[in-house]
Amino acid sequence: MKLIYVFLISIFFSLTLQAQKQHRDVYVYFDTAIYKLNNGEKGKVEAFINKLGREKIVEIIMYGYTDDRGSNKYNMNLSIKRAKNVKNHLISLGVDRSLFKVVKGKGEVIIRKYDQVETDIVRGLNRKVTIDIKTIIPKPKINETLIQHKIVEPLHIGDRFVLENIHFQEGYAWITEKSFPHLRKLAKVLTDRPDLYIEIQGHVCCTRFGRDAIDRKTKKQNLSQTRAKAIYSYLRRKGIAKNRMRYKGMRRTMPLGKGSEYDRRVEIIIKNIVKKRRFHAN
């Protein structure tokens, strides 16, 4: 059995989502007679969304409120505007519109009799929108095999390999020098095996809602693609035919659940293995 030496990790995995349900609540507050969030409350909402991490939002319920000053009709309309404003801000952060199950105004909150100081405090707390977010935590099951530096033939269409020790300049698609020895080994394998046709997939970490990261050179949000293209371009310069390769940016759609250093990766997928034609003498 022939061994191909290459600095790759073969990972065959299936992602199984086991729903561990969570409830997350956050309150945001408003100035008197205002329905738009101020910058401080916007930051609170964004920080809340960022802290969800791997949790997947499945449902959002929101209610808007006002203090007890003003007419009932005015306060009802104001509470509705507040709830809608928060919804629009969440959408601007990447939250899917379909996740909002309830977005309503409740009008004013009647308060007890307090002195003026206490009344002002309570009224401030009543000018709010409550956000109830239901989430699930995906738990990927990862079956790992051949965690080593040798890949034993035969190879199969669909086999997935993670390039080990491939590093890029932070925020860029520039390959670092210490990556070159490992890329040379990959190029040698592809040279020795002209029957292999591959797809190069770039992955990034640490973004929200499966988004791509920003390439600091171009300012475009496609870093996973430009890094995959950088590997493709390297292999082209090493003589690998372009019709044997394609590249694709996967954004942050396939986190491994093992930490950010594992999510920042480039994978090679075998898309085709071309069999040699046999010629028979007549």
Could you list the residue range(s) of the whole structural domain that residue 254 is in?
3-16+141-273
Residue 64 sits in a domain of what CATH number? 3.30.1330.60
* Same-domain status, 149 and 263: yes
* Same-domain status, 12 and 68: no
User: pLDDT by residue (tens digit) across 52-105?
Assistant: 766 788 999 999 999 999 999 999 999 999 999 999 999 988 888 999 999 999
How far is C-alpha 92 from the geometric centre of its chain's CA atoms?
16
User: Residue 35 falls within a domain, yes or no?
Assistant: yes
263 in Cβ contact with 255 (< 8 Å): yes
* Same-domain status, 149 and 10: yes
Q: pTM above 0.95? A: no
Separation between Cα atoms, residue 243 and residue 49, nearest integer Å? 42
User: pLDDT by residue (tens digit) across 129-167?
Assistant: 999 999 887 654 433 333 233 344 677 888 888 888 888
Query: Nearest-CA neighbor of 249 among 200, 206, 186?
Result: 200
Separation between Cα atoms, residue 240 and residue 188, nearest integer Å? 9
User: Residue 195 falls within a domain, yes or no?
Assistant: yes
* Same-domain status, 200 and 103: no
Query: Nearest-CA neighbor of 134 among 233, 62, 46, 191?
Result: 62
User: pLDDT by residue (tens digit) across 22-61?
Assistant: 788 899 999 999 999 999 899 888 888 877 766 788 999 9
Q: Could you give the angle at the alpha carbon of 144 between the alpha carbons of 139 and 148, nearest 5°?
A: 145
The secondary structure of residue 94, as a DSSP letter, is T
* Same-domain status, 163 and 269: yes
Backbone angles phi, psi at 224, to 5 degrees: -65, -35
* Same-domain status, 103 and 148: no
* Same-domain status, 204 and 261: yes
The secondary structure of residue 32, as a DSSP letter, is T
- Give the best-scoring range by mean pLDDT among 6-10, 151-155, 197-201, 212-216: 197-201
Separation between Cα atoms, residue 143 and residue 141, nearest integer Å? 7
Query: Nearest-CA neighbor of 39 among 49, 28, 50?
Result: 28
pLDDT reported for residue 99: 94
137 in Cβ contact with 54 (< 8 Å): yes
The secondary structure of residue 127, as a DSSP letter, is S
Residue type, 147: I
Backbone angles phi, psi at 198, to 5 degrees: -130, 160
Peptide bond preceding 140 in cis form (omega within 30 of 0):
no
212 in Cβ contact with 220 (< 8 Å): no
User: Residue 280 falls within a domain, yes or no?
Assistant: no
Domain end position, chosen among 136, 158, 180: 136
Domain tally, the chain: 2
Pairing of strands 196-203, 265-273: antiparallel
* Same-domain status, 58 and 86: yes
* Same-domain status, 43 and 154: no
Domain end position, chosen among 120, 136, 152: 136
